[in-house]
Chain A
């Protein structure tokens, strides 16, 4: 089956620093990748849709200057949390859709990244 990797799996950083999270599709090309955030005991909240070669589409309420997304190739999307603060501490998870979001196919998820900002 399709595999999506995510790196790092966990990260602890100081307030004010930036953190980059990578999402890679290992055995397929993904024109579209999605970035989610999960708060404790809550659902996966879509942050943005990342399209290869174009700007990401951010959901309402998500600061695009705070959460920088780059989808430079068909197998890699990155999420950079800039000037992280404790309230950014969360679980971030990506998914990839080989069909660009408009198919009945399931999304393939990475294992997620636990970010803790001190």
Chain B
């Protein structure tokens, strides 16, 4: 059983605050790490796919970094907006199986 952990479990911030959360995963047999955003009553949608150690990806105010040697990825949101409120999931994909293991997610609530 692969252990993929996300922290914190939930986060409440004010509009305009910057925030970040963590996904930790096994450091061996790394293949890819995905970040998804899951808004209430919608389908999870992909934010980033991270494949190389040291990867940094950015989409608007959201960015992510990857450290495969120590087994963690950070997701950053700069200047949070209420529409950023969602659960953010990471999914670890190792080289031994064609499937992903999900973390429990971080639920972000941005107050106006």
Using a CB–CB distance below 8 Å, which chain A residues touch chain B? 4, 32, 34, 36, 41-46, 49, 93, 95, 100-102, 104-112
Contacts and interface: CB of A to CB of B under 8 A. Distances in A.
Interface residues of B, number: 22
B13 interface: no
A44 B89 contact: yes
Contact of B43 (A32, A34, A111): A111
A43 B32 contact: no
B47 to A, nearest CB: 9
B43 A109 contact: yes
25 contacts: A4-B43, A32-B98, A41-B104, A43-B102, A43-B103, A45-B102, A46-B101, A49-B98, A49-B99, A93-B43, A95-B44, A100-B98, A101-B99, A106-B34, A106-B36, A106-B46, A107-B46, A108-B43, A109-B36, A109-B43, A109-B44, A110-B43, A111-B41, A111-B42, A112-B43
A95 B45 CA distance: 11
